[in-house]
Amino acid sequence: MGSITLKNVSKVFGAHAVIPSIDLDITDGEFVVFVGPSGCGKSTLLRLIAGLEDVSDGEIVIDGRNATELPPAKRGLSMVFQSYALYPHMSVRSNIAFPLKMAGEDKATIDKKVQDAARVLNLTDYLDRKPRQLSGGQRQRVAIGRAIVRQPGAFLFDEPLSNLDAALRVNMRLEISQLHQQLKTTMVYVTHDQVEAMTMADKIVVLNRGRIEQVGSPLDLYRRPDNLFVAGFIGSPRMNFISGAPAADHGAHTIGIRPEHIALSTDQGIWRGTVGVAEHLGSDTFLHVNADGIGTLTARVGGDFAVTHGDQVFLTPDPQHLHRFDEKGMAIR
């Protein structure tokens, strides 16, 4: 009931092809995250699926039905916007009830569905307030409430957490994940934050300049990135890239090694360097090491590894987790 298929979909604004051509399959019940840097076309792609933009070419199939020419309301999708897009003059109750009212449902049904949605989202006490009397997180929940009452085939989220502060964002992330487990409805989620993508997704679609760089489960992308872009985008802190002689030793143009896959020692190792900055997070410490003949490398060590600025350390990459890339930036496997 919530499968979406894109066939050769492209979008052109004037002479500028925002999305050259994309093929993608989203199966029913999946939590799919579109992730990429700003301007990569991920929001445009979501709007194409929603029907808020017309495709320039290609076909969008929703539930086995060609939806390319269907207006947004007829596609059986609902969307949560970045600015929440609540109707400011309506109470929370009327906001949530609006899609049902537009669908022409009778009053008793609307009341019941609004109550149900409010209970799921912890909004029961706020039903008679106006959106401006709510906090950011509550507004977000109203927007989600407005999306779920219609019982759509799929939810579309357009960077829904980017207006919230860090603590609330972690909270809402969890709530949306729980909601997905509860409803088991397809969700398509757009974000530029790879942490959100990693923590929430069943399937991540990494986009860059309107092209799909790689599609896969979070751990798939983390363990086996197809190319330099995905390797650098997924994972925090980002992967270290080394080119030149050390890479040639491994038969590659560039090698990549994640900070957590570098072993540190104060007396022996393959690369020698001096500690530039040490970021102590408590449980972990991120060391920015100026390695001789290689450049700056980031390494993650345990919180009790005691080094400070200027200390000499030795770094040894774990050969099992070394990623090799050719001159075009594609992974060598």
Partner 1 sequence: MRVPFSEPRRLHTGDAMATLHTRSAARLMIAPSVLLLLAWMIVPLAMTLYFSLLRYNLLMPGMEEFAGLTNYTYFLTDPAFFQAIFNTLAIVLGVLFITVVGGTALALLLDQPMFGQGIVRILVIAPFLIMPTVAALVWKNMFMNPVNGLFAWLAKLLGLQPFDFLANAPLLSIILIVAWQWLPFATLILLTALQSLDEEQKEAAQMDGAGAVSRFIYLVLPHLSRAITVVILIQTIFLLSVFAEILVTTNGGPGTQSTNLTFLVYAQALLQFDVGGASAGGIIAVILANIVAFFLMRMIGKTLEA
CB of 79 to partner 1, least distance (A): 5
CB of 23 to partner 1, least distance (A): 25
Do 189 and 31 contact (CB within 8 A), yes or no?
yes
Residue 317 carries which side chain, given as an amino acid letter?
P
Our CB check for partner 1 shows the closer of 73 and 219 to be 73
CB of 187 to partner 1, least distance (A): 15
* Buried-exposed string 179-199: b where 16+ CB fall within 10 A, e elsewhere: bbeeeebbbbbbbbbbebbbe
Our CB check for partner 1 shows the closer of 50 and 134 to be 50
Q: Summarize as ranges the residues that interact with partner 1 (CB under 8 A).
A: 50, 52, 71-73, 77-79, 81-83, 85-90, 98-99, 102-103, 146, 150
Do 37 and 194 contact (CB within 8 A), yes or no?
no
CB of 139 to partner 1, least distance (A): 13
CB of 168 to partner 1, least distance (A): 20
Our CB check for partner 1 shows the closer of 85 and 195 to be 85
Our CB check for partner 1 shows the closer of 43 and 240 to be 43
What is the spatial distance between Cα 56 and Cα 13, in angstroms, rounded to a whole number? 9
Our CB check for partner 1 shows the closer of 49 and 262 to be 49
What is the spatial distance between Cα 117 and Cα 268, in angstroms, rounded to a whole number? 60
Our CB check for partner 1 shows the closer of 88 and 282 to be 88
Q: Which of 73, 68, 53 is nearest to 152 (CA)?
A: 73
Our CB check for partner 1 shows the closer of 85 and 270 to be 85
Measured CA angle at 64 (ends 184, 200), to 5 deg: 30
CB of 60 to partner 1, least distance (A): 15
CB of 99 to partner 1, least distance (A): 4
What is the spatial distance between Cα 115 and Cα 101, in angstroms, rounded to a whole number? 15
What's 49's DSSP letter? H
What is the spatial distance between Cα 152 and Cα 275, in angstroms, rounded to a whole number? 53
Do 172 and 137 contact (CB within 8 A), yes or no?
yes
